[in-house]
Amino acid sequence: MLRILTTVIITLLLAVSCTDQVELSGVDKSNFDTSVRPQDDFYQYVNGTWLEETEMPADKSAYGSFHILYDENQLRLRAIIEDAANQENKASGSDVQKVGDFYASFMDSAKIEELGLQPLEEELTLIENIETWDALAELFAHHRIIGVQRPFTYWVGQDDKNSEEYILFFNQSGLGLPDRDYYFTKGEKFEDIRTKYVEYLTKILELAKDENAVEIANTVMEMEKALADNHWTRVENRDSEKTYNKFAVNKLSRLSPDFNWQLFFDKAGIAKAENVIVRQPSYLVAFSNVLSKYSIDDWKNYSKAKLISGFAAELSQDFVDANFDFYGKTLRGTEVNRPRWKRAVSAVNGSLGEILGKVYVEKYFKPEAKERMVKLVDNLILSMEDRINKVDWMSEGTKVEALAKLKKFNAKIGYPNKWKDYSKLVVKPDELVLNTMRSAEIEYRRDMNKLGKPIDREEWGMTPQTVNAYYNPSMNEIVFPAAILQPPFFNLKADDAVNYGGIGAVIGHEITHGFDDQGRKYDGNGNMREWWTEEDADKFDERAQVVVDQYNEFVPIDTLHINGELTLGENIADIGGLTVSYNAYQLSLNGEEPAVLNGFTGNQRVFLGWAQVWRMIARDEYLRNQVLTDPHSYGKYRVIGVMNNLPEFYAAFDVKEGDGHYLPEDERVKIW
């Protein structure tokens, strides 16, 4: 698992406004709410009619520009997958055979119904035969390999303080609810969620013919609550310094003396590891205490519940329905499950992503899009250099270090130079659950095999068909998959201004992640070290606190405020990213005045492009989950929060004291 700072940024360039120059403004005025002044609520002004008239699809908990593009991508992937599935005489072991048969295994509902719980029988027997604590340690290792949740997890990544070496990272886990807060937050909504979670566990255990389903479900909930009580918060887990705790493998027993780590490492196939990064040492101490508090039978039942729940969506319809009723309806408010073909596409994409990616790139990624992106990235890098040179709060010594880091940024655009090897994966047309387990094991072995080997700087953390982008501090790289670089998101024919507000701000956002409250702790080689002067670091932290305080005031639903500390990195990247992109747009004009298109100046269209990115409707359940678990602010506040702080927006739309977006100059965020 790559450690990445990531954001999802999707813009919607809908309407075409033709001028004499046959240019696209990229601005859809039919979505506007002109009863609202842009100076008072820019988000509502740009998106109000769309927000009012758009109906939530029954199979979604949130819907916006990202979801529209995602749906279009699903259709493209379906065509690729079904083409493979429909081919005759597929060579055994070929990419086409694997894609086609994996899809067939998901779509064969009759076979899935016939099998019922049978695909898990061997695994259930393995759990039932556990008699000792050592055997339980081996079971936890086995479950990590096949993708079943257990009280802790681990992955291979670059050592934060030695980016030229791979190392194991250990992390807290084990919860069936989205976050520790779901176990303790008071109020009717959260009490109802906890009650329904126990009902869900009871249901799937009853479907598995367990006579003690009710008792087991309540005990599992109790065990999870004990684990959750010792989980670090999401704010604490963002801190790259606090979560860097290096231990020799043979010292892990000091944290968890009641767990056989040596046996676990042997079974997990990672015995060659000498050191690990324990992200939450106090949790591993607590895990040992919780482990001994409950009996082996309790942990067997816990593991059984995790196994069934983990594969419920791929079992017969009664399990699918139970899983969706809780995780879809209760937690997200989604009314109906996605059609089977959509779930099948997601399954194939999740297990054979880069096989699909090769075909996807050939069919849908234009070379000219990559060429344009290279130029845009270069422009944004120059713009960031300009901003660093001009900030008045950073000393010259720190600027030299910051510019050195910027020059070492590596941009990956479109797709990887080399593709993953799936040759060892066995896929059969009537073994959906086993296909998924075998895929999990292949990816596990791929990850663990990195230990002791040189860093693979060609590796991608996302497939080309992923609508997303990310910054990876250990690699010091910004990555833009092909799916985010084509219409309707990135329009090659569209006016530069709106593209700077869209894809340009994406680039700026990811670049700025390298200098947000966590990314700034890493140097140009990807090593975490203190390269700031103490005074400069203090000045940065003072400015970052302004961001925290501002976003803490936003209330997306009920009395739940945005967590300004949890969302700090993304909010800094939003504000900085659009600032840097706007500056890049100005530099690109070379002093010329851009044409007025669709009634808006070029400067105004940059901000319109950003506001269109974040139009979104959401169910209440989704909003509650996002506020508690997501490091990104809700879309509305990604517009409002940014506009409140940018003097360029004030100038473009003549924002004055008394307007909704107005903040006194000394209260605005001033970082980049």
Active site residues: 510, 574
What would the two tokens of residue 141 be? Answer: 């290792």
Strands 152-159 and 410-414: unpaired
| 608 closest CA partner among 570, 576, 575, 652 | 652
The Cα–Cα gap between 92 and 69 comes to: 34
List all residues 6 or more positions away from 143 whose beta carbon is below 8 Å from its beta carbon: 149, 150, 303, 306, 307
List all residues 6 or more positions away from 240 whose beta carbon is below 8 Å from its beta carbon: 160, 473, 518, 521, 522, 528
Q: What is the DSSP letter of 445?
A: H
Partners of residue 616 on adjacent β-strands: 64
Residue 285 zone, left/alpha/beta (φ > 0; ψ -120 to 50; rest): alpha
HSE on the CB side for 549, CA within 13 Å?
10
| 423 closest CA partner among 403, 447, 442, 451 | 442
> What amino acid is encoded at 95 in this protein?
D
Partners of residue 420 on adjacent β-strands: none
What would the two tokens of residue 450 be? Answer: 């990195």
The Cα–Cα gap between 507 and 513 comes to: 10
- DSSP for 251-263 reads GHHHH-TTS-HHH
What would the two tokens of residue 332 be? Answer: 């997200």
The Cα–Cα gap between 381 and 512 comes to: 10
How far CA 535 is from CA of 240, 405, 549, in Å, comes to 20, 19, 21
The Cα–Cα gap between 344 and 347 comes to: 5
Q: How far is CA 299 from the centre of its chain?
A: 30
What would the two tokens of residue 347 be? Answer: 């399954």
| 256 closest CA partner among 140, 175, 145 | 140
Q: What is the DSSP letter of 180?
A: T
The Cα–Cα gap between 46 and 591 comes to: 28
Strands 469-472 and 477-481: antiparallel
Judge whether 384 and 376 are in contact, CB under 8 Å.
no
Q: How far is CA 386 from the centre of its chain?
A: 30
> What amino acid is encoded at 139 in this protein?
L
Judge whether 352 and 75 are in contact, CB under 8 Å.
no
Q: Strand order of the sheet with strand 469-472?
A: 5-7, 469-472, 477-481, 410-414
Partners of residue 522 on adjacent β-strands: 528
What would the two tokens of residue 361 be? Answer: 């790139």
Helix (H) or strand (E) holding 171: strand 162-172
The Cα–Cα gap between 332 and 350 comes to: 21
Judge whether 480 and 507 are in contact, CB under 8 Å.
yes
Judge whether 436 and 101 are in contact, CB under 8 Å.
no
